[in-house]
Amino acid sequence: MKSEFTLKLDRCKGCGICAAFCPKQVLALDKLGKIYVADSEKCIACGQCELRCPDYAIFVDKVKEEKESVT
Amino acid sequence: MIERSYEKYFRQNRLPHLWCPGCGNGIVMKAIVQAIEKKGWSQDNTVIVSGIGCSSRASGYMDFDTLHTAHGRAIPFATGVKMANPNLNVVVITGDGDCTAIGGNHFIHGCRRNIDLTVVLFNNNIYGMTGGQASPMTPLGKKATTAPYGSIDRPFDACKLAEAAGATYVARSTAFHVQHLVKLIADGMDNKGFSFIEALVQCPTAYGRRNKIGDPAKMMAWMRDNAVMKTAWDKLSEDKKIGDKFPIGLFYKVEEETYNDSYEKVRDIAGGSLR
Ligand SMILES: Cc1ncc(C[n+]2csc(CCOP(=O)(O)OP(=O)(O)O)c2C)c(N)n1
Ligand code: SF4
Ligand code: SF4
């Protein structure tokens, strides 16, 4: 399972709620206080970040991994 | 990404909202529109009425017919809307100060009448907008600009107050328990009569900072650690219901005649029924 993040950074206020409730420490705040995906490989697409973001700035979707094409 | 379906209920040109970083109001505003979506209520048939306060600013971001009224007066305005057109779905957004201080009387009398409204109280335990005065829901010992040594006024339990005053649906959840909150609001919308849902929200600016509770995530972790589901709460012995622990869930539900139905009877008797 892979996950795809969408960040609406103009909405993000850098409160850190998403990062705090991420069970896998995927998210972090940058120097300007905006959220960024620090380690996308660890993401399990649980959606806890999106669920509690008070500013609707972070979205996570599960994406099916492409099956290797057999030719 | 496919745009989330609830985004259509927001006035996009008004976002981002003005609430402080980490303020819980945004979480509850989203929970309300998700409950509306769940119920399939249309934007043209739903009215959002709010009072005054940080929480009451929510109506300005919501793409329905909205009324941002006077401090403490959301329930009277909403009552007027519902009486004028009983077919409308009416949701009230209010704060702990708005609802239980200046609007306390309107609140209990709305409950008493069982007027068909869904009232969501954003409880941040403080007057946020005016900089942190104590509200009737500030816990004992907690600091406010008007209680620099800690509040000595015993707080209201707004849920108990609503039930005692005659509300027919009473529930509580928190900004941490988002899905639970959405469900309780949606169930309240199903109830024909006065539905009251208290949503605990963190106010890191005017309440958290002064009380050294920490950042917004810590305030939400406190909700996670101290909220006890009603079914588990009822099984707790009294000596375990201590400290910061508090119950969440559906507290009360009963069927009673709504104010609109009672009023219709008056119309019939008086010979002026429009039905
Ligand atoms: C008649 C009147 N009195 C006082 C005020 C000042 N005032 C504005 S908001 C507010 C309190 C808000 O507290 P609450 O309802 O808890 O909402 P919050 O800002 O915490 O969300 C007060 C006293 C006012 N606007 N109108
Ligand atoms: S919870 Fe939302 S606003 Fe807060 S840091 Fe994360 S993305 Fe930004
Ligand atoms: S003062 Fe408190 S309630 Fe008002 S926007 Fe800031 S955090 Fe939210």
Tokens of B42: 């249309």
**Domain count of chain A?**
1
Task: With respect to residue A42, please indicate whether it lies within any of the assigned structural domains.
Answer: yes
The CATH code of the domain at B25-230+243-269 is 3.40.50.970
Instruction: Specify the pLDDT at position A66.
Output: 65
CB neighbour burial string for B16-26, b if at least 16 within 10 angstroms, e if fewer: ebebbbbbbbb
Instruction: Specify the pLDDT at position B170.
Output: 99
* Whether the CB of B24 sits within 6 Å of ligand 1: no
Going from N- to C-terminal start, the domains of chain B cover 25-230+243-269
What is the ipTM for the molecules in this complex?
A: 0.94
A9 at interface of B, judged by CB pairs closer than 8 A: no
Task: With respect to residue A69, please indicate whether it lies within any of the assigned structural domains.
Answer: no
Find the DSSP H helices in B103-198. Answer: 104-113, 158-165, 178-190
* Residue recorded with tokens 């998403």: A18
Tell me the one-letter amino acid at B51: G
Instruction: Specify the pLDDT at position A9.
Output: 97
Does residue A71 surpass a pLDDT of 60?
Answer: no
What percentage of residues in chain B have a pLDDT greater than 70?
Answer: 99
Among A residues 46-65, those touching chain B with beta carbons less than 8 Å apart: 51-57, 59, 61
> Ligand 1: distance of its center to the CA of B75 in Å?
15
How far is the alpha carbon of B135 from chain A, nearest alpha carbon, in Å?
23
Task: With respect to residue A30, please indicate whether it lies within any of the assigned structural domains.
Answer: yes
Task: Give yes or no for a cis peptide into B16 (omega within 30° of 0).
Answer: yes
From residue B271, alpha-carbon distances to B82, B212, B265, B266 in Å are 21, 62, 10, 8
Helix (H) or strand (E) holding A20: helix A17-21
From residue B146, alpha-carbon distances to B131, B132, B136, B210 in Å are 10, 8, 12, 12
Q: For B123-179, what is each residue's pLDDT tens digit?
A: 999 999 999 999 999 999 999 999 999 999 999 999 999 999 999 999 999 999 999
| Least confident span in B68-77, B202-211, B256-265, B266-275 | B266-275
Enclosing domain of residue A9 = 2-63
What CATH number corresponds to the domain at position A18?
Answer: 3.30.70.20
Task: With respect to residue A54, please indicate whether it lies within any of the assigned structural domains.
Answer: yes
- Give mean pLDDT, residues B104-111: 98
* Cα separation, B205 vs B131, whole angstroms: 8
| Chains A–B, number of C-beta pairs less than 8 Å apart | 63
Residue nearest to atom 8 of ligand 2 (CA): A12
Task: With respect to residue A9, please indicate whether it lies within any of the assigned structural domains.
Answer: yes
* Whether the CB of A17 sits within 6 Å of ligand 2: yes
Q: For B216-265, what is each residue's pLDDT tens digit?
A: 999 999 999 999 999 999 999 999 898 999 999 999 999 999 999 999 99
Q: How would residue B214 be classed by pLDDT, with cut points 50, 70 and 90?
A: confident
